[in-house]
Structure 1
């Protein structure tokens, strides 16, 4: 059996299985996407997951919009290393993943909004209650993977920039790399008191850019020098001596 005939047979079975499992109401764009895939997903849930993986920038926007709908949980602040929290500022803050603020099953642990059938974010089926067995939106899963590993979507981001380097304006080369326009260490240092939904934009498309490798190397060098200088300065403080003159001493 050739590869082509195997794929045709496999897709015929997958299409039939998908059609049998489809509910009367199902997102039309998702179904169109699924039936156009080289390998048709055999279940509605896999079709939804495939849709959001193929529309990663749309998933990013939706996840941040859902987070804005939830807002910052009362009493939550962005901290590192505490129970249930990430140990690095490079991970996006996720208050609803922390035990103290988790909303339980039926609510997305990323955005905090209700999760409905097939991991969808709207109650298209008019059931009036979320799926008690779900803890993620399919869109939020795709967005989370995008936030923690944006380099995996370099082709999508290149297309978004029309294959032009965000810094130099020159054509992007094959070696081009994804970069955070505002470094994440500065987000932690300068913006960590901002409302949580606004913080997510620093991991999403508003703060992502593709630059040629040479430009990225120079940017990383400048950022490393800036961080080193800030660290050195933090070791000292200005105090007054007995005569009232300001002097610098080691903290």
Structure 2
């Protein structure tokens, strides 16, 4: 049997499983899965594949869900949290302590339903008590912590122009944060949680050519050194 014949047989069997009424796969996920070269055989794999194919959509959804969640008034993005994870990782108010709860996403704090979906399309009336991540939030978290993987997609949104010089993007272009994350920690850490997440999202990301990125990083380093020197001087 040739590879094409195996793929056709696989897709036929997978399609029969996905369209079964008992699964009730969300409509956009089903459309995406049936267009795939290799159709996922399980509903959860189809949902995960859908969000992996749409990281910018997952980023917007995760931040919107976070904006709908109520963070305890006493929570602050604190030094101990940064000490454990560094400023490269977003704040995580729902990951531990009183904010953590079964069936709620550790990223955005909203209930997690069937297949890691963010709304109760099946009328269950209660979240999945064994799930602590939305499938969309998993993709968003990977996008926030490793944005270089979405470089081609971000470059397309910039029409393949450098975010700093507006010149044509070259091979080896890099993803950069418009507002550096260390500046977010230093100057803006008291902002609401949902606004903080925006500094890891697509709105604060740009694709830049390597020489321009190096020059920007050097300028940021000089500014940080000047701030440290000024803080060390006597009043």
- 2:192 and 2:2 mapped to 1: Cα distance? 56
| Secondary structure in structure 1 of the residue aligned to 2:234 | strand
**1:244 maps to what in 2?**
none
2:200 to 203, 209, 214: 203
**2:38 maps to what in 1?**
39
> What is the aligned-residue RMSD (CA, Å)?
1.7
Q: How big is the shift at 1:237? A: 2.7
Unmatched segments (≥5 aa) in structure 1? 239-251
* 2:83 equivalent to 1:63: no
1:1-251 map, 5 Å: 1-20=1-20, 23=22, 25-82=24-81, 86-102=84-100, 104-238=101-235
Q: How big is the shift at 1:225? A: 1.4
Unmatched segments (≥5 aa) in structure 2? none
Name the structure, 1 or 2, with higher relative contact order (CA <8 Å, separation 6+): 2
- Please, which moves more after superposition, 7-16 or 41-50? 7-16
Q: How big is the shift at 1:67? A: 0.2
| Secondary structure in structure 2 of the residue aligned to 1:146 | helix
- Please, which moves more after superposition, 225-234 or 126-135? 225-234
- 1:125 and 1:100 mapped to 2: Cα distance? 28
- 2:199 and 2:46 mapped to 1: Cα distance? 29
- 1:108 and 1:114 mapped to 2: Cα distance? 6
Q: How big is the shift at 1:27? A: 1.6
TM-score (norm 1): 0.88
Describe the superposition over 1:99-149 as per-residue Cα deviations: whole angstroms up to 9, x where unpaired. 2421x1111111000111111111111111111111111101100110000
Q: How big is the shift at 1:24? A: 6.1
- 2:117 and 2:169 mapped to 1: Cα distance? 36
Q: Which protein shows a greater Rg?
A: 1
* Residues 4, 237 of structure 1: alpha-carbon distance in 2 compared, 3 angstrom cutoff: farther
Describe the superposition over 1:185-239 as per-residue Cα deviations: whole angstroms up to 9, x where unpaired. 000001001111100000001100111111111111111111122222222231x
The answer (yes or no) to whether the contact 2:62–2:108 under 8 Å persists in 1 is yes
The answer (yes or no) to whether the contact 2:18–2:30 under 8 Å persists in 1 is no
Aligned length: 235
Q: How big is the shift at 1:7? A: 2.2
* Residues 168, 231 of structure 1: alpha-carbon distance in 2 compared, 3 angstrom cutoff: same
TM-score (norm 2): 0.94
